[in-house]
Structure 1
Amino acid sequence: MTQRYFAITAPGFEKQLADEIDAVGGRKIEKHTGGVEFDATNRVFYRANYEVRTANRLYLRLDEFRARDFPELYRKTRRFGWERLLGEENKVYIKGVGRKSHLIHTDRIAETVADAIREHFEEDLKRPAPTIVEEQEEGAQYLLARIHEDRCQLSLDASGEHLYKRGWRQEAVEAPIRETLAAALLIRAGWNHRKPLVDPMCGSATFLVEAAWMASKRPPGDMRDFAFHRWKNFRQPLWDDVVEKGRRRMREIDEVQFWGFDANPEAVDAAQKNAELAGMSACTEFRQADVAELTPPSEKRGMIIANPPYGERLEEGSGPRAAWETLVDRFAEHFKGWRMGLVLPSDITPSHDRLKFKEEMRFQNGGIAVKFWLARHR
C-alpha cells in the first residue's frame, strides 16, 4: 500500500531532491517550487527519511477536501481515522494557513481542526484524545491545516527536527551553511566521491563532513530519530531492517581525503570536533591558514568548494581584498586541473583571465540571494 508524501527542499534544488526520491523507490514524483510530492510504501518512506540528503522536512499527506466554511472543515476533519496515527500519549501542535479562500483566520482554522480531532476520539471512539498544545514544543507532532482556494489539505510532519540537523554539528561558527544545502551543492557540482575535497574557509566543516558521509555512503539520518517513530502505525522491525541495510552499504575511508582551512582558530577547533562527532576524523584534516596561503594539500587532483564571507563578513579573512577574490587568484595559480565551486552574492560575477566560470544555479542562503559558480582552468 502506498501513501502520498511531500518533501521540502530549498527552492532551486527540486531536481536533486526528485532524483534522490526516485533512487530510494518513490513513485509518481511531481516537482513543485520548494519541494517534491511522491507516492511511497512504508519501506520507501522510511528510507526517504533515513537516506535522502537534500530534503529539509517530509510530510505525510493525510486528507484533502473542500472547506468553504468552518462547519464543513470541522465535519470533514472529524471523519478522518486519526487513531491510525495518533493516541493519547501524543501531543499535537496544529498550524492553520488560509489563502485565497473563504477561511483565512489562521487561529480559528487551527482551533476547528483541534476540536474535530478531540471529539473524534472522545465522542466517536470513546477514548482519550491526544493533547493539543498551543505552541510547538519538543516531541509534539506538527499538523499543518492548509486551505488554498477553498481546498483543505491536512499534512502531518514526519521528520520532527529539520532534516538538516544530522546530529553531528555540536560546534557552530558564524553563518554556517545548512547540511542539506551543502549536500545539494556537492551533488550539483558533480563532485567525484573518490577525489580530494578542499574547503579553504571551512567554518564548522559542513561541506567536508557532508562530503565524507556521502563518500562513505553513511545515511544522513544515522544519528537521529524522527517524529514518525511516535506514530501508532510505526513498524520497528521494518525500520530496523532499513537501518541495517543502509549501514551495510557503508564503506570505510581510512586515509585523509577532505581538507579544511580557516584563518579563525575557533573555526578550526569547531571543525575538528564536529568531524570527530561525525565519526570522520580518520579521513579529514583541518589547519589554521589564511586563504592567501592556500596550496594543494594532495598530489591527487580534486575539487575546492567554498562559501566565502559575504554581506557583513565580506572583508574578513585576507585584508582589504574580499576573501573570494584571493581564493580565485590562488586557484588560478596553484590548482591546475582542479575544479572549484563557489557561493557568491548574486550581484558578484567572478572573472579571471586564466579561468572559465559557469553560473550553475541561483538560490537563497540565509536570506541572501546568491549564485553557485563552477570554475575550471582554460
Structure 2
Amino acid sequence: MSQRYFATTLPGFEDELADEVKAIGGRKIEKVTGGVEFDATHRVFYRANYELRCANRVFLRVDEFRARDFPELYNKTRRYSWERLLSGANRVFVRGAARESHLMHSDRISDTVGHGLREHFEDDLKVAAPQIIDKIDGSAQLVLARLNDDRCELSLDSSGEHLYKRGWRQHAVEAPIRETTAAALLIRSGWVHRKPLVDPFCGSGTFLVEGAWLANKRAPGDMRDFAFQRWANFRQPLWDDVVNCGRQRTHACEAVRFYGFDANPDAVQAARQNAELAGVRGCAEIRQADISEFLPPCEAAGTVIANPPYGERLTQGSGPRKAYQILIDRFAEHFQGWRLALLLPSDITPNHPSLRFKEDIRFQNGGIRVRFWLARHR
C-alpha cells in the first residue's frame, strides 16, 4: 500500500531530487519549492531515506483536514490513529506554522496538536502516551502542523537528524558545504564518474567523499540511523533487505581518481581523516598545496570543482589577487580538455578570454546568495 511523502531539499535542486525519487520507485511525483511530494510503498520509503543524495529530510504525510478554530484542530488531531506510528516509548516535539489562516499563533498550534495527540493515547486508548517535549533533540520525533488557508497538514519526520549528516564528517573546517548540496552540484556539473575529480580548495573533503560515494554507488545513509526505526510500524526484516540490496550495488574504487588540495594543513588533515572514516581514503589523494601552484594531478582529463574562499587574497605575480581568480588563470593555462565547476557569490561574474563560462544555477548557500558556474576552454 502506498502512502504520501514529502522530501525536502535546498530550493533550486527540486529537479535533481525528483529524478532520484523516480529512480528508486516513487510515484505521482510533484515538485514544489523546496521539495518533492511522492507516493511510495514501505520499501521505497525506506530507500528514500537510505539512498536520496539531495534530500535533507523525508516526511510522512499523516493527515490533512480543515481547522478554523482551536477546538476543531484539537478534535481532529486527537481522532487520528497515532498508535500506528508512535507509542509511549517515543518522545515527540510538535512544530506549528500557519499562513493565511484563522489560526496564526504557532506556539498555540503546537500546544493544541500535542494535547490532542497525548489525549488520544491516554483518554481514548487508555495507554501510556508519547512524551511531548518543549525542545527538540536527536532522539525526538518531529511532528509538523502546518496550516495554510485553514487547511491543516500533519506530517511526521522520518529522518531524524538532517540527511546531510551522513556520519563520516567528524572533522570539520570553517564554512563547509553541506553534503547534500555537494552531491547536487556534482550531479549538475556533468562530471563523468569514471573520470578524475579534483578539488583545489578541498576543506574537509566534502566534494571528494560525495564524489567517491557517487562513483561507487554507496548509499548516503549507509553510516547512520533514522527516526522511522523508532516507529511502531517499523519492519526490521524489510529494512535489513533494503540495506543489503544497497550494499550489494556498491563497488570499490579501483584506482586513485579523487584529488584534494588545500593550503591549510589543518584542512588537509581533516579531509584525510574524513576520507578514512568514509572508507574512500584508498582512492583519494589529499595533500597540502597552494593554489598558485595548481596543476593537473594526472594525465587523464576530468572535472575541477571548487567552493573557493571568496574574500581571501593571495600573492601571485605582481601583487595580491583573489583565490578564485588565481584558480581561473591556472585552469585556463594548464587544464586543456578539463571541465571547471565553480561556486561563487552572486555578485561575482567569472571571466577569462580563454574560457567560456555558463551560469548553471542560483541558490543560497549558508545564507549567502551564490551562483554555480560551469566552464570549458574556447
Q: Deviations over 1:270-307 (max 9, x none)?
A: 00000000000110011111111011111011000000
Equivalent positions of 1:285-300 (< 5 A) are: 285-300=285-300
| Alignment correspondent of 2:95 | 95
Specify which of 290, 313, 316 is matched with residue 315 of structure 1: 313
- For the residue of structure 1 that corresponds to 2:260, the secondary structure is strand
Taking structure 1 as reference, are residues 181 and 316 closer, same or farther at Cα in structure 2, changes over 3 Å only? farther
Structure 2 length-normalised TM: 0.98
Q: Deviations over 1:118-169 (max 9, x none)?
A: 1111111111100000110221100011111101000000000000000000
- Contact 1:317 1:323 (C-alpha < 8 Å) held by counterparts: no
CA distance in structure 2 between the aligned counterparts of 1:137 and 1:270, rounded to whole angstroms:
27
Shift, 1:98, TM fit: 1.4
Structure 1 length-normalised TM: 0.98
CA distance in structure 2 between the aligned counterparts of 1:362 and 1:82, rounded to whole angstroms:
40
Q: How many residue pairs get matched?
A: 376
Q: Deviations over 1:39-65 (max 9, x none)?
A: 000000001110110001110000010
Q: Deviations over 1:192-251 (max 9, x none)?
A: 010000000000000000000000110000000000000000000000000000000011
| Alignment correspondent of 1:199 | 199
Q: Please, which runs of 5 or more residues in structure 2 have no aligned partner?
A: none
- For the residue of structure 2 that corresponds to 1:320, the secondary structure is strand
| Alignment correspondent of 1:282 | 282
- For the residue of structure 2 that corresponds to 1:321, the secondary structure is strand
Taking structure 1 as reference, are residues 317 and 183 closer, same or farther at Cα in structure 2, changes over 3 Å only? farther
| Alignment correspondent of 1:161 | 161
- For the residue of structure 1 that corresponds to 2:269, the secondary structure is helix
Is 1:256 aligned to residue 262 of structure 2? no
Taking structure 1 as reference, are residues 176 and 342 closer, same or farther at Cα in structure 2, changes over 3 Å only? same
- For the residue of structure 1 that corresponds to 2:321, the secondary structure is coil
| Alignment correspondent of 2:62 | 62
| Alignment correspondent of 1:348 | 348
Q: Deviations over 1:58-87 (max 9, x none)?
A: 100000100000011011101100000000
Is 1:330 aligned to residue 312 of structure 2? no
Aligned residue type for 2:95: K
Q: Percent identity?
A: 69
Shift, 1:255, TM fit: 1.7
- For the residue of structure 1 that corresponds to 2:146, the secondary structure is strand
Equivalent positions of 1:211-250 (< 5 A) are: 211-250=211-250
CA distance in structure 2 between the aligned counterparts of 1:336 and 1:100, rounded to whole angstroms:
55
Equivalent positions of 1:5-16 (< 5 A) are: 5-16=5-16
| Alignment correspondent of 2:30 | 30
Shift, 1:317, TM fit: 8.2
- Contact 1:263 1:317 (C-alpha < 8 Å) held by counterparts: no
| Alignment correspondent of 2:77 | 77
- For the residue of structure 1 that corresponds to 2:360, the secondary structure is strand
- For the residue of structure 2 that corresponds to 1:55, the secondary structure is coil
CA distance in structure 1 between the aligned counterparts of 2:189 and 2:259, rounded to whole angstroms:
18
Taking structure 1 as reference, are residues 286 and 224 closer, same or farther at Cα in structure 2, changes over 3 Å only? same
Taking structure 1 as reference, are residues 270 and 317 closer, same or farther at Cα in structure 2, changes over 3 Å only? farther
TM superposition outliers: structure 1 runs of 4+ over 3 Å: 316-319
